[in-house]
Amino acid sequence: MPRLVLTNARLIDAVREGVTAGASVTVEDERIVEVLDGRRSPSEQGARVIDLQGAHLLPGLWDAHVHLEWPRVPQAGVPELTAQYLANAQRALLEGGVTGLRMAGTPHFIDVALKHAFDSGQHVGPRMVTCGWFLTTTGGHALGTGFALPCDGAEGFVRVIREHIQAGVDHIKLNLTGGIMGPAWDRHWHTFFTPAEIETAFAICRQRGIKVMAHAASTEAVKAALRLGAHSVEHGYIMDDECLTLFRQHDAWYVPTLGITHLTPSQATTRWEKQWVEQRALTPDLIRRAEDAVEEHRSWFRRALAAGLKMAVGSDVRPVREGALLELGLWVKSGATPWQTLQAATKHAADVSGLGRELGTVETGKLADLIVVRDNPLDDIDNVHSLLLVIKNGRVVADHRAR
Ligand SMILES: [Zn+2]
């Protein structure tokens, strides 16, 4: 593979706030080997040179909370799901510029298989950080999705978590509370685990040094997850000040998944939100549940942001091609700056995924997962939709400049 030189870029490196005009980035094999501002020119000899003509070069986007199914196919077996998940992950990369996915629940370890297929180059696809099944309880959350695995009793969790470790997952997803999208008996203020179940599940993960991604939608579960050593808390629709303190004390991440409560017909304002809401066609009951929860959710998002918690963009919204882009818009609508939001979807999302040393910024030595967008996302975050190029592992995998 010849060296790849990207010239005439407006660079947003996700390290220093702002745009560097006239920048160039050189990629050799899979890594960034040189980043220059406008004052110096790169060596173009023997290289493939792409003149970006002033377009914006930034790290590839991440979605740090992903389920790959869409549309839901009742009774789908492993073969159908595998084909669908592969296609959805590829679309996220090639059409959305989402170069990294942190998984939040996938049946049959299809995420582990896709990760191997993408890493080996067998298929083109995004980086995958895997968790296998969404571990819940009988009468738990997301049971209709096909990706939830009910476990009961401390021993039930021990066995399943060990099976996950053996299958090669990167983290364990524990579902501690109900959610917004569910049947009448599944409410987000309900905690599911018995004390023995939650303590044992965390203890096994701690013993094996594997991170826990905790679905915790309400105060008591958020606190329990943080005290027991969760790496990240997802959702946090209902919290209190002590939750924010515990996040800081335990140096844990918060992934707020604004899309779950903010994407309803009456709240959709942009054309992408309106399109998404229309195709999602939520039932009136689920719309009401989302809207009943949105104000409190947004207030904790704002307070977490103001408190300077470690936060990353994760959408929990399907299809994954649209999820991250919608979530970026919702962060800004809910009070984050475009810069905070972009960093949360690149540098910080790579960090929460455990890959911050290799990915998430445009810096010499990092793996070259990059995107080019025509218009400046720091002016308007929705400019992430003006996607021109996607570079994964140093290779141009999608070129939309002609469209
Ligand atoms: Zn989820």
CA 1 to ligand 1 center in whole angstroms = 38
Q: What is the DSSP letter of 177?
A: B
Across 366-385, average pLDDT: 98
CA 67 to ligand 1 center in whole angstroms = 6
Q: How confident is the model at residue 151 (pLDDT cuts 50, 70, 90)?
A: very high
Condensed to tens digits (0 to 9), the pLDDT of residues 247-274 reads: 999 999 999 999 999 999 999 999 999 9
CA 316 to ligand 1 center in whole angstroms = 5
Which secondary structure element, helix H or strand E, spans residue 26, and what is its range? Answer: strand 20-28
* pLDDT the model gives residue 60: 98
What six digits make up the tokens of 167?
């299958």
Condensed to tens digits (0 to 9), the pLDDT of residues 36-93 reads: 998 999 999 999 999 999 999 999 999 999 999 999 888 899 999 999 999 999 999 9
* pLDDT the model gives residue 317: 96
Condensed to tens digits (0 to 9), the pLDDT of residues 269-286 reads: 999 999 999 999 999 999
Tell me if residue 76 falls in helix, strand or coil: coil
CA 186 to ligand 1 center in whole angstroms = 14
CA 342 to ligand 1 center in whole angstroms = 21
Beta carbons of 202 and 229 less than 8 angstroms apart: yes
Q: Angle at the Cα of 319 (from 359 to 125), degrees rounded to 5? A: 40
Condensed to tens digits (0 to 9), the pLDDT of residues 106-129 reads: 999 999 999 999 999 999 999 999
Q: How confident is the model at residue 2 (pLDDT cuts 50, 70, 90)?
A: confident
CA 66 to ligand 1 center in whole angstroms = 6
Condensed to tens digits (0 to 9), the pLDDT of residues 340-375 reads: 999 999 999 999 999 999 999 999 999 999 999 999
Whole-Å CA distances, 282 to 67, 208, 263, 268, 327: 17, 40, 10, 13, 18
Q: What is the DSSP letter of 60?
A: P
What six digits make up the tokens of 239?
């919290």
* Rounded Cα–Cα distance for residues 304 and 115 (Å): 32
| Percentage of the chain modeled with pLDDT above 90 | 98
CA 188 to ligand 1 center in whole angstroms = 13
CA 344 to ligand 1 center in whole angstroms = 18
Across 157-185, average pLDDT: 97
| Percentage of the chain modeled with pLDDT above 70 | 100
Residue/partner pairs of 115-123 with CB below 8 Å, 24 or more apart: 117/86, 118/89, 123/86, 123/90
Across 146-166, average pLDDT: 98
Q: Which residues pair with 110 in a beta bridge?
A: none
